[in-house]
């Protein structure tokens, strides 16, 4: 193993030996190389004559560039957009996102967490998480109704076993007995449980209540207290889009990050959905876990391993994208702009609820609980979801997503408030058409 990796592992083990055991074999081997990067940093300081270290090109104007690339970027400078960003991400953006995390989650207060490391969107955050913490044949606890891409990230790419649990009970809340059973069985069998928790949830649009979050955190903390190592990844892709009072406002990460030394919380979030910049691909990965003594060296070691993983895959996330997100977040109008978009989505979600309260739909479907995010989901009673999807597309020009036999996902994030009644009436008509044929 590379001596730098050995050193990082020693630092981690000193702060929390269980953390080292939780790392996958790849996670243990990862490190952030010094080589070219540290020589480049030294040259930046001392090489006043010729600096021939960096793998970019320069000319008399500084960073070499095509005017046709810079022209649409207005006042932005090539040095701030075209140069490579660090594998860790832009330092100012990492600091600002961490401040924003504390602002959005007052429960974090000044509790120690890592500095967020920048990823190319939440998907890349998830696959980086998988590289560091998930080994082939590890089990990963996920609801049976889930974002389909988890299958590619964890089962196909990592060879992990997906351990499905039932998501909802029959009383309009989460089936936490099913969740607890699945976690316990895996923990008892393997001494380790990896769980992936995504709220606001895709596809249902559900965010738990405070009481549900308390119970989930208790289940994981008890599992850790009973001797197993627990890794909890919190996919907060749609964080902040909470529309009804009962949806908990803080991330589950807050309840998990400082709960037990054998419980590691990993927050995966991003500007992609929260700030409506999907194609810019800016995400973050942040760690929280109790550590003995000064937590900073341990978090730095985890950040270095994470950045090493990024260095070895995409090298670094887009500098231009990070710069745009940073500038937007620094703009005094940023909070107001975000609030305006939030209000639009909230009005749509509440309109969906109002429309679906009409008993005329009850024969055709049940509505899964929803209170947040971009989506909601129908459970069809009499027709196959894929057959209905194709029929709605062909006959009415309406596009929805079918999931399994009975579920139809509606992205109300893309439907104007005034069109919501018409949308559900067309879906109902589609169900009736199929019943007749
Ligand atoms: C639950 C969940 N996580 C992550 C993502 C991916 O987000 P990103 O575009 O930042 O990769 C999605 C996108 O659909 C999602 O639904």
Report whether residue 205 contacts ligand 1, using a CB cutoff of 6 Å: no
Q: Is 275 in the pocket of ligand 1 (CB under 6 A)?
A: no
Its sign, for the CA torsion 177, 153, 265, 286, is negative
Ligand 1 pocket, residue 283 CB under 6 Å: yes
> CB neighbours of 366 closer than 8 A, spacing ≥ 6?
378, 379, 381
For residues 295-305, average pLDDT:
97
The mean pLDDT value for 379-398 works out to: 97
Fold adopted by 3-32+87-330: 3.40.640
CATH of domain 335-436: 3.90.1150.10
Q: For residue 43, what pLDDT band results from cuts at 50, 70 and 90?
A: confident
- The pLDDT score that the predictor gives to residue 353 is 97
Specify the DSSP class assigned to residue 280. Answer: G
Question: What is the model's pTM?
Answer: 0.96
User: Which residues lie closer than 8 Å to 84 by C-beta, 6 or more apart?
Assistant: 54, 55, 56, 315, 316, 319
Averaged pLDDT of the chain: 96
pLDDT the model gives residue 437: 81
User: What does the pLDDT read at residue 263?
Assistant: 98
Residue 42 has pLDDT above 90, yes or no: no
Residue 95 has pLDDT above 80, yes or no: yes
Q: What is the mean pLDDT of residues 12-18?
A: 98
Q: Which of 273, 284, 401, 409 to mutate to test the pocket of ligand 1 (most atoms within 8 A of CB)?
A: 273
Q: What is the pLDDT of residues 59-88, one digit of tens each?
A: 999 999 999 999 999 999 999 999 999 999
* Ligand 1 centroid distance, CA of 402 (Å): 18
- The closest alpha carbon to 250, from 376, 110, 108, 96, belongs to 108
What is the DSSP secondary-structure string of 26-84? HHHH-----HHHHHHHHHHHH--S----SSS-EETTEE---HHHHGGGTT--GGGTTSP
With CA atoms as reference, report the closest residue to 56 among 48, 64, 45.
64
Instruction: Assess whether the C-beta atom of 237 lies below 6 angstroms from ligand 1.
Output: yes
pLDDT at 425: 98
Q: pLDDT tens, 228-286?
A: 999 999 999 999 999 999 999 999 999 999 999 999 999 999 999 999 999 999 999 99
- CATH 3.40.640.10 in the chain is located at 3-32+87-330
Nearest Cα neighbor of 269 from 236, 230, 232 is: 236
Find out whether the beta carbon of 122 lies less than 6 Å from any atom of ligand 1.
yes
Other CB atoms within 10 A of residue 54 CB = 16
Percent of residues, the chain, with pLDDT higher than 90: 92
The residues of the chain that CATH labels 3.90.1150.10 are 335-436
How many angstroms separate the CA atoms of 336 and 326, rounded? Answer: 16
138 lines ligand 1 (CB under 6 A): no
Alpha-carbon span 414 to 394, nearest angstrom: 20
Q: Which residue has the tokens 């020693």?
A: 10
pLDDT over 80 at 40, yes or no: no
Judge if the beta carbon of residue 121 lies within 6 A of ligand 1.
yes
The total of other beta-carbon atoms located within 10 Å of residue 309's CB is: 25
Distant-in-sequence, close-in-space partners of 412: CB < 8 Å, separation ≥ 6? 345, 348, 349, 352, 374, 375, 376, 420
* Nearest atom, ligand 1, residue 201 CA: 1
Tell me the mean pLDDT in the region 201-206. Answer: 97
pLDDT at 432 over 90: yes
Q: How many CA atoms lie within 13 A of 143 on its CB side?
A: 20
Query: Does the CB atom of residue 202 touch ligand 1 within 6 A?
Result: yes
Closest CA to 127 of 144, 94, 96, 149: 149
CB-ligand 1 contact for 235 (6 Å cutoff): yes
Q: Is 276 in the pocket of ligand 1 (CB under 6 A)?
A: no
- 50 compared with 189, residue with greater pLDDT: 189
- Which ranges in 257-384 belong to alpha helices (H)? 271-274, 296-311, 319-330, 334-356
Q: At what angle do helices 420-436 and 334-356 cross, to 10 degrees?
A: 40
pLDDT at res. 51: 81
State which ligand 1 atom lies nearest to the alpha carbon of 123.
11
Quick check: CB of 278 below 6 Å from ligand 1? Answer: yes
**237 Cα: distance to centroid of ligand 1 (angstroms):** 6
User: Burial of 21 by CB count in 10 Å (0-12 exposed, 13-18 middle, 19+ buried)?
Assistant: middle
- In the numeric block, the tokens 């609801």 are attached to 143
Question: Measured on CA atoms in the order 304, 270, 152, 223, is the torsion positive or negative?
Answer: positive
**pLDDT tens string 109-161:** 889 999 999 999 999 999 999 999 999 999 999 999 999 999 999 999 999 99
Closest residue by Cα to atom 16, ligand 1, is: 202
């Amino acid at each position: 193993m590379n001596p730098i990796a050995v050193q990082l592992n020693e630092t981690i083990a000193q702060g929390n030996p269980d953390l080292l055991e939780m790392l996958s074999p790849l996670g243990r081997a990862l490190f952030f190389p010094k080589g070219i990067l540290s020589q480049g940093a030294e040259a930046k300081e001392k090489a006043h004559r010729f600096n021939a270290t960096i793998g970019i090109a320069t000319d008399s104007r500084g960073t070499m560039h095509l005017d046709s690339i810079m022209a649409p970027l207005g006042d932005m400078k090539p040095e701030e957009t075209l140069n490579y960003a660090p594998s860790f991400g832009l330092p100012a953006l990492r600091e600002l996102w961490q401040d924003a995390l504390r602002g959005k989650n007052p429960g974090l207060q000044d509790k120690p967490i890592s500095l967020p490391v920048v990823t190319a969107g939440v998907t890349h955050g998830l696959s980086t998480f998988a590289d560091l913490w998930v080994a082939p044949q590890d089990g990963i606890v996920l609801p049976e109704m889930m974002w389909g891409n988890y299958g590619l990230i964890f089962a196909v790419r990592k060879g992990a076993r997906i351990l499905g649990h039932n998501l909802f009970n029959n009383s309009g809340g989460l089936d936490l007995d099913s969740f607890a059973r699945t976690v316990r069985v895996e923990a008892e069998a393997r001494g380790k449980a990896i769980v992936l928790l995504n709220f606001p949830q895709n596809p249902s649009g559900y965010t738990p209540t405070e009481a549900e979050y308390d119970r989930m955190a208790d289940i994981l903390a008890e599992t850790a207290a009973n001797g197993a190592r627990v890794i909890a990844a919190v996919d907060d892709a749609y964080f902040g889009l909470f529309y009804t009072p009962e949806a908990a406002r803080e991330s589950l990460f807050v309840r998990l990050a400082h709960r037990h030394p054998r419980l590691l919380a990993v927050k995966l979030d991003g500007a992609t959905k929260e700030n409506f910049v999907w194609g810019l691909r800016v995400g973050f990965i942040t760690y929280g876990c109790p550590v003995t003594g000064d937590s900073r060296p341990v978090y730095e070691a985890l950040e270095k391993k994470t950045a090493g993983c990024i260095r070895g895959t995409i090298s670094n996330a887009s500098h231009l994208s990070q710069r745009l997100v940073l500038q937007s977040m620094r703009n005094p109008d940023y909070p107001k702009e975000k609030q305006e978009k939030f209000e639009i989505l909230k009005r749509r979600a509440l309109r969906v609820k109002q429309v679906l309260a009409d008993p005329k739909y009850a024969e055709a479907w049940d509505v899964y609980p929803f209170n947040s995010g971009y989506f909601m989901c129908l459970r069809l009673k009499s027709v196959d979801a894929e057959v209905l999807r194709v029929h709605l597309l062909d006959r009415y020009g309406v596009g929805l997503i079918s999931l399994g036999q009975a579920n139809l996902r509606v992205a109300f994030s893309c439907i104007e408030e005034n069109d919501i009644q018409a949308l559900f009436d067309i879906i109902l008509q589609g169900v009736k058409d199929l019943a007749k044929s």
